[in-house]
């Protein structure tokens, strides 16, 4: 029986673990935390279920939806995002909605800029991408300071790779304000979110919790753990690829978040169908506030909110900077044939649950 060693037990580790197990492989999953599921695991704060960052399932891929829905029934969301604009002292839909422009103090200037937008974008970085889509004024009001703060940048021109992925929905729509109307936009029905999937995926696998990998012998597909060596036929790593090679080409940059959660003595805070509120003003500290009940449908006379503040205390988001992407590729290209770097951290790509499922299905199918 062939043996796979998998580092990490989030979706990036659990999906290939399940698929390999079904193909008859022996699978060992190594996890440094005392739980499986990574950042997508559902916890309770008091009685309130939450994840570290809202983790709804958003995808254009029917295969990814069908795969996950088999194990964790999903319900459709009708979701609207708000953003608070301090200068207008009010909330608008995000991304900028054409029907809101007339309510803005700079409405005349905004319309002049929209009238001369280029028909085709030739953007070279995040800033030119967005100014060519919405004009200078809307970019400054809704996007400029938010993005700099979210990615801890001095200038948005630093973001010169993958900036197209920052579009949450087509900006400047009219009429209905719901996001991603043509995609699967869902959240688990069970109270414990995706946790059941992790349990099913890792059933009959060897799972080593509270376990750190202290050394990598990649040529021999061997890992050093607790003064022991374990060998597999393949290694699947979901951690940052620079760690596998002792940062020999330099450490990869990431951005993290501090998650501040608190319960309020009121049943609901946000308006109907509003799940997020963004804060794009120059002097804001937080980027986003989330009301978790909107996702979980938890019944309580109280409600749980979380505030997200960009931080370097953890590594959650690979940067969208070409030089860092090139560095990550250097690491990935240098890996031996039987060592695979997968998932958001492993590929150094800002991908989500659906991409990870599709990636895993394709990857395991080639073994």
pLDDT tens string, the chain, 367 residues long: the values are 999 999 999 999 999 999 999 999 999 999 999 999 999 999 999 999 999 989 999 999 999 999 999 999 999 999 999 999 999 999 999 999 999 999 999 999 999 999 999 988 789 999 999 999 999 999 999 999 999 999 999 999 999 999 887 775 678 999 999 998 899 999 999 999 999 999 999 999 999 999 999 999 999 999 999 889 999 999 999 999 999 999 999 999 999 999 999 999 999 999 999 999 999 999 999 999 999 999 999 999 999 999 999 999 999 999 999 999 999 999 999 999 999 999 999 999 999 999 999 999 998 988 8
Domains in the chain, CATH or no CATH each: 3-41+194-252+319-365 (3.40.50.720), 80-177 (no CATH)
Paired tokens of 185? 């936009």
What are φ and ψ of residue 366, in 5° steps?
-90, -10
What is the rounded CA–CA span in Å between residue 131 and residue 214? 46
Distance CA 53, CA 9 (A): 17
Q: How far apart are CA 216 and CA 213, in angstroms?
A: 8
Report d(CA 257, CA 310) in Å as an integer: 4
- Number of residues assigned to the chain: 367
pLDDT on residue 163: 86
Strand partners for 45: 48
- At 171 the pLDDT is 83
């Amino acid at each position: 029986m062939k043996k796979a060693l998998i580092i990490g037990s989030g979706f990036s580790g659990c999906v290939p673990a399940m698929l390999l197990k079904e193909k008859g492989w022996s699978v060992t999953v190594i996890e440094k935390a005392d739980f499986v599921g990574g950042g997508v695991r559902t916890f309770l704060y008091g009685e309130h279920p939450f994840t570290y960052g809202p983790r709804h399932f958003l995808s254009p891929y029917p295969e990814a939806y069908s795969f996950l829905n088999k194990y964790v029934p999903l319900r459709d969301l009708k979701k609207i995002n708000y953003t608070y604009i301090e200068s207008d002292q009010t909330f608008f839909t995000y991304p900028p909605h054409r029907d809101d422009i007339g309510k803005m103090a700079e409405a005349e200037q905004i319309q002049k800029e929209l009238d001369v937008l280029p028909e085709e974008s030739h953007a070279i970085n995040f800033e030119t991408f967005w100014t060519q889509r919405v004009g200078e004024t809307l970019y400054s009001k809704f996007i400029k300071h938010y993005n700099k703060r979210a990615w801890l940048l001095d200038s948005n021109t630093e973001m010169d790779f993958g900036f197209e992925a920052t579009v949450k929905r087509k900006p400047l729509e009219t009429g209905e304000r719901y996001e991603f109307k043509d995609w699967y936009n869902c959240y688990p029905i069970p109270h414990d979110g995706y946790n059941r999937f992790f349990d099913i995926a890792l059933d009959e696998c060897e799972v080593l919790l509270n376990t750190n990998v202290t050394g990598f012998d990649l040529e021999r597909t061997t890992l050093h753990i607790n003064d022991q060596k374990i060998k597999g036929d393949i290694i699947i790593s979901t951690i940052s690829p620079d760690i596998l090679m002792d940062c020999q080409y330099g450490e990869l940059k990431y951005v993290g978040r501090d998650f501040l959660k608190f319960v309020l003595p009121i049943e609901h805070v946000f308006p109907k169908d509003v799940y997020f509120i963004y804060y794009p003003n120059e002097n804001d500290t937080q980027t986003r506030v989330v009301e978790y009940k909107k996702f979980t449908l938890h019944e309580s006379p109280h409600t749980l909110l979380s505030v997200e503040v960009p931080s370097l205390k953890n590594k959650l988001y690979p940067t969208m900077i070409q030089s860092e992407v090139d560095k990550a590729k250097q690491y990935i290209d240098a890996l031996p044939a039987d060592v695979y770097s997968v998932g958001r951290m492993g590929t150094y790509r800002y991908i989500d649950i659906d991409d990870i499922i599709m990636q895993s299905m394709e990857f395991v199918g080639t073994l």
